[in-house]
């Protein structure tokens, strides 16, 4: 039951308890209890909106930064990842397999601001050996939502 509720909320966090109850066939009190417990257990971490920043005048520049690091004894990559994810410019940090160890998603008001972040804050972090920065030129899909493209026609064709 919880997995079904989580999938509904992941698809649309604004779905009400009553709607989820109707969709799952579970009592509203049970749905509410499961959601509260999932929040308490940090299964549900945050409710959020997916924003198409290209349609807002306050432009943001996004970058994907590959980071090569030296893992620390006893804690491996975790301590370095924590130092990195604490920067306010950083939105996401993943541990990767392959040539680079961490993938950092960061944002700033300009390419220069992101470059300054990489050069003055990220690269000097103890354990960071090197970085490769990729600036996002265009976003097509974010968190499962298509940002641009043709809108689907949701009405039926009328034939006379």
Q: Based on the fold, state whether residues 66 and 112 are members of the same structural domain.
A: yes
- Can you give the residue range of the structural domain that contains 24? 2-40
Q: Based on the fold, state whether residues 33 and 65 are members of the same structural domain.
A: no
As for how many domains the chain has, the answer is 2
Q: Which residue has the tokens 């992101």?
A: 114
* CATH code: domain of residue 78: 3.30.70.920
pLDDT in the model for residue 51: 77
- For the chain, the first-to-last Cα distance in angstroms comes to 47
**Host H or E run for residue 45:** none
Q: Based on the fold, state whether residues 121 and 68 are members of the same structural domain.
A: yes
Q: Based on the fold, state whether residues 97 and 127 are members of the same structural domain.
A: yes
Torsion of CA 124, 125, 128, 132, to 10 degrees: -60
Could you give the CA distance from residue 95 to residue 49 in angstroms, rounded to a whole number?
25
Name the band, by pLDDT with cuts 50, 70 and 90, for residue 156: low
Name the band, by pLDDT with cuts 50, 70 and 90, for residue 154: low
Structure tokens at 8: 């509904």
Q: What is the pLDDT of residues 61-103, one digit of tens each?
A: 999 999 999 998 888 999 999 999 999 999 999 999 999 999 9
Structure tokens at 129: 């050996």
Could you give the CA distance from residue 21 to residue 60 in angstroms, rounded to a whole number?
38
pLDDT in the model for residue 59: 76
Name the band, by pLDDT with cuts 50, 70 and 90, for residue 48: confident
Domain presence at residue 90: yes
Domain presence at residue 159: no
pLDDT in the model for residue 158: 58
Q: What is the pLDDT of residues 102-151, one digit of tens each?
A: 999 999 999 999 999 999 999 999 999 999 999 999 888 888 888 876 55
Asked if 139 and 80 touch (Cβ cutoff 8 Å), the reply is no
Domain presence at residue 21: yes
Could you give the CA distance from residue 45 to residue 27 in angstroms, rounded to a whole number?
23
Domain presence at residue 148: no
Is residue 153 pLDDT above 60, yes or no?
no
Domain presence at residue 59: yes
């Amino acid at each position: 039951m919880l997995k079904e509720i989580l999938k509904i909320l992941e698809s649309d966090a604004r779905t009400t308890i009553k709607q989820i109850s109707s969709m799952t066939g579970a009592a509203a009190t049970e749905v509410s209890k499961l959601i509260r417990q999932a929040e308490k257990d940090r299964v549900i971490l945050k409710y959020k909106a997916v924003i198409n920043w290209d349609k807002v005048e306050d432009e943001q520049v996004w970058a994907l930064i590959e980071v090569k690091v030296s893992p620390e004894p006893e804690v491996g990559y975790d301590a370095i990842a924590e130092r990195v994810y604490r920067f306010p410019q950083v939105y996401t940090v993943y541990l990767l397999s392959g040539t680079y160890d961490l993938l950092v998603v960061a944002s700033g008001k300009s390419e220069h601001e992101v470059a300054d972040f990489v050069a003055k804050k990220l690269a000097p972090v103890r354990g960071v050996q090197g970085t490769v920065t990729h600036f996002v030129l265009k976003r097509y899909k974010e968190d499962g939502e298509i940002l641009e493209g043709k809108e689907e026609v949701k009405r039926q064709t009328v034939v006379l």
